[in-house]
Amino acid sequence: MATNKRWFWVGSRSVVRDALVAQFAGPPVAAPLATATAGDIIILDALATAAECGELPTGHVFGAVRALKEQKGLAVYVVVAATDRVGVQLARFVLADGVLVWHAEQNRLDVAELQHTGAAPRRVPVDELLAKLEPKLGSGSGETSLQRLLRFEREDSLASRLQDAETGLFDGPYATLKLDEEWKRAHRFHQPLSLLLIDLGPGVTDLAPADRQLAFAEAAGVFLNECRDIDVLARFAPTVFLLLLPGTGADGAEVLARRILTALGQRFRGRGDVRPAAGVCSVPSSEVPDRRAFLAIAEACLAKARARGPGVVSTTWQ
C-alpha cells in the first residue's frame, strides 16, 4: 500500500514495525509525534513501554487515542496481540480508527482495518452547495428539506422534550426505547453491548431541592465527561442512572464503571448523602436471552453492589 501520507510509530516491537514498513512501502516519520498534522497516520503499539509513551498526550496508549483524535484530521490505529481480547475492546472503546491485530505465531499483521490512505477524489465543498441552495429558500416554491430542517431547529426539539429536568440527560421512557433499539442492533450485527446502572444512593432524595439538583447536575457532568457521544445516558429512576454502551464488552464496561465511581468519589468526597454503586451486564452472554433479562441482571448486579457498600462495581448477580 504505497502512499504519500506520513505515518508515525510508537512502539518497540521491530517485527511489527517491519510489517508496517512493508505495508506503507516506507519507514515511519522520524520527527516527534507533536509534529503530526492533519492527514497523518499514527499507529500505537498496545505493548509500548512507559518510556516509549513519553511523548503521548497522556503517557498511555489507550488514554492517548482520544487526545490525538481531537487534533482534526489525524487517523489513529492501535496494534494489539491476537490473544489480547481486552486490548481490542479498549481500542474500540476509546474510538481508535482501527485495530491492527498481530499474530505472533504466524509473524503476521492483520491490517484489514487500515483504511485506504491514497489521494481521495476532490469533492465539491458543502459550502458551495449551500451557496447554491440558500437563494432558493425564500422563493416560495414549496418548503424544501433544508427549509424544513431549519424550521424544526427553531421549534421546541424532540430531544428537549425527552430530557430529565434536573440533569439534562434523557429520561426513562427514552432510555427504554434506546435499550430496545441497541439490543436489536447488537444481535443483528453480532456486536457487544453493555448496560451500566449507577445508583447515587437513597440519601440524595433527602437533600433540599437546590442541593439535590446540584448533586444530580454534578453527577451528570461526570457521566458526560467519561462517556462517548454514542453512549446513551439517562436518568432511569429517582437516584439511578442508566448508561447504555454500544460496541463495549464486559471488560471495557467494568473499566468505565470503576472510572466513573472514582470520579464521583472525588467529586463528592466527604458527603455521606452520595454513596454511588454500580451494576454491569454485558452481551453476548448465554445468561441473557432477551432485553428484559438484560435489564433485570444489571439491576440485580446493582443491588449486590449496593449491599457491599459505596464505590463497589458488581458484574455478577448470583
Q: Percent of the chain beyond pLDDT 70?
A: 83
What confidence score (pLDDT) does residue 258 get? 96
Same domain, 82 and 15: yes
DSSP-assigned letter for residue 206: G
Contact (CB, 8 A) for 11 and 45:
yes
Global pTM exceeds 0.75: no
- In a domain? residue 135: no
What confidence score (pLDDT) does residue 201 get? 92
Q: DSSP for 139-179, please give it.
A: S-S---HHHHHHHHHHSPPHHHHTB-TTTSSB-HHHHHHHH
SS3 246: strand
Q: Which of 79, 110, 141 is the last residue of a domain?
A: 110
Same domain, 94 and 216: no
Number of domains in the chain: 2
- In a domain? residue 307: yes
> In this structure, what CATH number is given to the domain that contains residue 263?
3.30.70.270
What confidence score (pLDDT) does residue 89 get? 81
Q: Which of 85, 110, 135 is the last residue of a domain?
A: 110
Same domain, 166 and 299: yes
| Pairing relationship of beta strands 193-199 and 240-246 according to DSSP bridges | antiparallel
Q: What is the pLDDT of residues 245-283, one digit of tens each?
A: 999 999 999 999 999 999 999 999 888 889 999 999 999
* Residue 68: domain span: 7-110
What confidence score (pLDDT) does residue 72 get? 66
Residue 100 reports pLDDT greater than 50: yes
Q: What is the pLDDT of residues 53-70, one digit of tens each?
A: 888 877 788 888 878 877
Residue 119 reports pLDDT greater than 60: no
Same domain, 91 and 171: no
Neighbours of 292 (CB within 10 A): 11
- In a domain? residue 148: no
Same domain, 289 and 180: yes
Between CA 311 and CA 200 the distance in angstroms is 10
What confidence score (pLDDT) does residue 146 get? 65
Task: Residue 146: name the closest of 159, 160, 161, 129 by CA.
Answer: 129
- In a domain? residue 51: yes
Contact (CB, 8 A) for 91 and 46:
yes
- In a domain? residue 131: no
Average pLDDT over residues 47-54: 83
Between CA 309 and CA 297 the distance in angstroms is 19
Residue of 114 and 207 predicted with greater confidence: 207
Q: Convert 168-198 into a string of H (helix), E (strand) and C (coil).
A: CCECHHHHHHHHHHHHHHHHHHCCCEEEEEE
What confidence score (pLDDT) does residue 121 get? 42
Same domain, 105 and 16: yes
Element at 280 (helix H, strand E):
strand 277-283
Between CA 77 and CA 97 the distance in angstroms is 6
Residue 219 reports pLDDT greater than 60: yes
Residue 120 reports pLDDT greater than 50: no
Element at 133 (helix H, strand E):
helix 126-133
Q: What is the pLDDT of residues 138-193, one digit of tens each?
A: 555 566 666 676 666 666 555 556 778 778 888 888 889 999 999 999 999 999 99
> In this structure, what CATH number is given to the domain that contains residue 73?
3.40.50.2300
What confidence score (pLDDT) does residue 270 get? 80
What confidence score (pLDDT) does residue 315 get? 94
Q: Which of 72, 95, 110 is the last residue of a domain?
A: 110
Query: Which residues lie below 8 Å from residue 66, measured CB to CB, with a gap of 6+?
Result: 94, 95
Same domain, 96 and 165: no
Query: Which residues lie below 8 Å from residue 50, measured CB to CB, with a gap of 6+?
Result: 59
Same domain, 164 and 308: yes
Cell 453512549 belongs to residue = 231
